[in-house]
Chain A
Amino acid sequence: MSSKPSSIPLIPSVSQSLDVSALPLPPEHMDASPRSNGFWGMAVFLVTDTVIFLLLLVANIYLRRYSQGPAQGALDPGTTIWFSLGLWASSGALVLADSFRKQAKVSGLLYLLTAALGFVFLYGQAQEYLKLNAQGATVDADLFFTGFYTLTGLHGLHVAFGALALLVTGVLRFRGLLDGRREGFTAALGLYWHFVDAVWVVLFLLLYVWGGP
C-alpha cells in the first residue's frame, strides 16, 4: 500500500520536470464583464457598508421601543428636507456628469457641482446637530438619539468622504488631468455617491417620518 517515505526521492529529476515554457502563449484571462474592476469592487464594498447601516438601523428601531418620552418630536423634518433635497439633487448632477464623461465631453464642473451639493448637505446637518444639542437632544439624552446620531453621523462621514473625493475628481477633470484615465475610479465613486444618497432616503423616512414601532 503505502511505500516507505524514505525510499522516495522528493526532488524530481530534470527529465521529469514539466516543460511549461515550450507551450504557446495563452490568452491572459477571461473577461467576464464590460464594467470596470473599480465598479465591481465598489459594489462589493457597498454590500459590506449596507450590512453596517442595516444593523445600526435595526438597533435603533429595536431600542426605540424602550425610549422614554416623545424623543423624535425634537426633530424637524421640515428643515431637514431642504438640505436633503440638496443631497438628492447632487445625484442628478452626478448622472449628468457621468453621461458627459462617457461622451468624452468636459465634465469637471458638473463633478464640482455634485461635491458642492454634498457640502451643502453637510452644512445643513451641522446646523441641525447644533440646534438639537441646544435643545438638550444629545447622544446620551435618549435611546432614540444614541441611534439617531450614530446613523446620521456615520452617513455624514460617508458624505464628507465622497464629497472630498468628488472635489478632487472635479478639480483634476477640470484641469484635464483625468481625461481618459481612471475611468474605473470615477465609476466606483459614482456608484458610491448614489448609494450614499439612497441610504439617506431610507434614513430620512425611518428616522424623521416614521413614528417608530
Chain B
Amino acid sequence: MTTAPVPVETASAPLSRPRNLTRWLSTTDHKDIGMMYLALGALFFLIGGVEVLIMRLQLARPGNTLLEATTYNEFFTLHGTTMIFLAVMPMLLGFSNYLLPLQIGAKDMAFPRLNAFGFWLTAFGGIVLYLSLLEGPPDAGWFAYAPLSERPFSSSLGTDFWAAALLMMGMGTTLTALNIIITTARYRAVGMGLWKMPLFSWMVFVNSFIIAFALPSLSAALIMLEVDRALGGRFFQGGGSPVLWQHYFWLFGHPEVYIMVLPAWGIISEVIPVFSRKPIFGYEFVAGSTVAIAVLSFAVYAHHMFAVGFARPVNLAFAASTMLIAIPTGIKVTNWVATLWKGSIRMTVPMMYAIAFIVQFTFGGITGVSFAVLPIDWQLTDSYYVVAHFHYVLMGGTLFALLSGLHFYFPKMTGRMLSEGFGKPAFWMITLGFNGVFLVQHALGMMGMPRRVYTYPDLPGWGALNMFSTVSAFVLGLGLVLTLINIVISWRIGRVAGDNPWQAWTLEWATTSPPPKGNFVRLPPIKSSRPLWDLAHPEDPDHQRPTRHDQQGKGHIRLEEKDHEQ
C-alpha cells in the first residue's frame, strides 16, 4: 500500500488562511466546523441560561407574579429545547468534529461538505426555533406530549416552529453521525485498529450508531405531529392514540440521554488518565461497556412512561432493563476511579471538572436507578426530584465534562492556555452553584413540589429551599460568565501552549496547536492506544507489556510514568 507524498505544510498554515466572514461561511474543514459548533452551543447556552435565570427568579418566592402561567410554559419549553438541541448537542458535536479526525490520524471527515451542511442545518434550526417568538413561542414543553401539543390546546404557531426546527436539527445531527461512522470506519491511520482508538473516538463512534437509530424516531413523531396540526390528521387525537406520541418520543428521548452523555464520558476518559499520569484502567471495559449501553439505551425507554399505566409485566421488564443499564455505567465509573487510584495526580482545572463530574454523575446515576423502582417512580414522577435527577446527569455530568474538555483542548484549538487564575474560581463557583441549585430540589420533590408549575403555595420549607436554589443559580451563572471571560482573554493574551502542554499520549497531540489544514504532516507509528508514549519511551512501549498491571507488585502503575517529569 503505497501513497503519494503528503504536501508538507508549515505550522503557520492556520494563520495564513483568510480571516473573514466568507471563510467561516464556506469552510469545510472539520476543525473550523467543530469550533463553529462550539460557538453555536455557547451562544445558545447563554440564551438558555438567561431563560432559566428568569424562571428561577419567578420561583424564588411562593406566589410570585413575575411571569404569568403561559409565559412560564413558554420559558420552560424554550429552555429545555434550547439546552438539549442547541447547547449540549452542538457542543458535543463540536468536540466530536474537532477531535475525531485528529485522534484517528485522518486529514478530515469523510464528507467535509456534508459536515458543513449538518452544521448549517443545526444553526438554521436554532434560528427557526427563535423565530417562533414572532408568532408566540411553543408552550407544550420540550417533550410536547400530545394532545397538549395539538392544535386545540396549543393554537399558536409556536409548536409548528418547534417541530420544524427539531426536524432540521435532527437531520443535521443524523448527517453528522453518518459522517462520523464512515470517517471512523474508513479513515483511521494505518495501524489504528478499533481497539487502539482513543476512548473519546470510541464513544463518539458508538454514539453515532445510537443517533442513527434514535433520531429517526423523533423525526417520525414530528412528522406525525405536523400531519395532525397542519392537515388535521388523527394520529394522536380524534380517535388516535396520545400514548403513541409518548412511545415514539421516548424511543428517541431516552437514547438521547446517552447521545448527550457518551461523548462526555469520552472526554472524561481522555482527561483522567492524562492528569493521573497512568493509562486508563481497563481500556477494553470502558470501550466495550459503551456498546452495552448503546443497546440497552433503547431497551429502557418506557421507564419514562411508568405512570401511563402499562400492564405489570411491561413495567417490570422496563424496570429490570433500567437497573441493568447501571452495570455498564458503573463499570465506567469504577474504571475512572481505578485510574485515579495511586495515580500521580495533577490538579489542573480540567482534572477538577473531571473529578466533580465523577461525583455528580454518580449521584445522578443513583437517583436514576431509584426511578427504576416502580413505587418510587409513581411517588416521585413529575416532581422536582425528577428535575434534580436529570440536571445532575445532564449538567453535573455532561456540562462538567464539556467544561473539562474545553479547558483540556483549548490549547490544542487556539494554541494558548486558559488562565488558571480565572479557571479555578470559576470552577468553584460553578460547582458550588450547581450543587446548590439542584441538591435541594431532591428535597423539594420529596416534599411534593410538582415540576412545570409557575408558582407554588407557601408551604413549610418550600420558600426557603427555592430561594436557596435561585441564589445558587446566579452563583452558577456568574461562574459561567467568568469562564467566558477567561476564554475571550486567554484566546488573545494567554500563555502560548506548544504542541503538547499536558503531556498526553494520544495522536491529536502529535500535531501543532492549532493543527494545520490537513492535520498532520507526519504520523508516528501506531502500535498501541498511546502512540506518543511509545515514541517517547522506546524502552518501554505499551504494546510490549504483557499486561497493564505492574509485574513487581507495585499496583498497576508504572513507576517511570508516575515520575515522568519535564
Contact = CB atoms under 8 A, between A and B. Distances in A.
B106 A29 contact: yes
Interface string B321-348: 0000000000000000000001111111
Interface stretch (B17-25, B186-194, B198-206): B186-194
Interface stretch (A51-59, A75-83, A90-98): A51-59
B223 A154 contact: yes
A52 B107 CA distance: 33
B566 A149 contact: no
Interface in A32-87: 32-33, 37, 40-41, 44-45, 47-49, 51-52, 55-56, 59, 62-63, 66-68
B532 interface: yes
Contacts of B511: 20
Contacts of A16: 536, 566
A18 B498 contact: no
A26 interface: yes
A146 B511 CA distance: 56
Nearest to A67: B239
A44 B182 contact: yes
A134 interface: no
A48 B522 contact: no
B547 interface: no
B217 interface: yes
B212 A62 contact: no
Given A18-B536, A29-B189, A37-B186, A59 B566 contact: no
B3 A28 contact: yes
B299 to A, nearest CB: 16
A30 interface: yes
B348 A5 contact: yes
Interface string A125-141: 00000000000001110
B241 A62 contact: yes
Given A11-B501, A26-B523, A143-B234, A52 B219 contact: yes
Interface string B294-317: 000000000000000000000000
Contact of A147 (B235, B342, B347): B235
A62 B236 CA distance: 12
A146 B240 contact: yes
A21 interface: yes
Residue of B181, B223, B234, B498 with most partner-chain A CB within 10 A: B234
Nearest to A3: B344
B32 interface: no
Interface stretch (B224-232, B365-373, B432-440): B224-232
A213 to B, nearest CB: 14
Nearest to B231: A139
B187 A29 contact: yes
A22 B239 CA distance: 72
Contacts of B525: 23, 26
Contacts of A48: 174, 178, 212-213, 215-216
16 contacts: A3-B346, A10-B417, A11-B501, A12-B503, A18-B535, A20-B535, A23-B525, A26-B191, A37-B110, A41-B114, A41-B182, A45-B178, A62-B241, A139-B232, A147-B235, A150-B227
Nearest first, the 7 closest Cβ-Cβ pairs linking A and B are A140-B232, A51-B216, A146-B233, A55-B220, A5-B347, A2-B345, A139-B231
Given A32-B186, A41-B111, A41-B178, 17 more contacts: A11-B566, A20-B524, A23-B525, A26-B523, A37-B110, A41-B110, A41-B182, A44-B178, A45-B174, A47-B213, A52-B220, A55-B217, A62-B244, A63-B235, A63-B239, A66-B239, A139-B232
Interface of B: 1-3, 5-6, 105-107, 110-111, 114, 174-175, 178-179, 181-182, 185-192, 212-213, 215-217, 219-221, 223-224, 227-228, 231-235, 238-241, 244, 248, 251, 342-348, 417, 495, 497-503, 510-511, 520-525, 532, 535-536, 565-566
Interface of A: 1-3, 5, 8-13, 16-18, 20-33, 37, 40-41, 44-45, 47-49, 51-52, 55-56, 59, 62-63, 66-68, 138-140, 142-143, 146-147, 149-150, 154
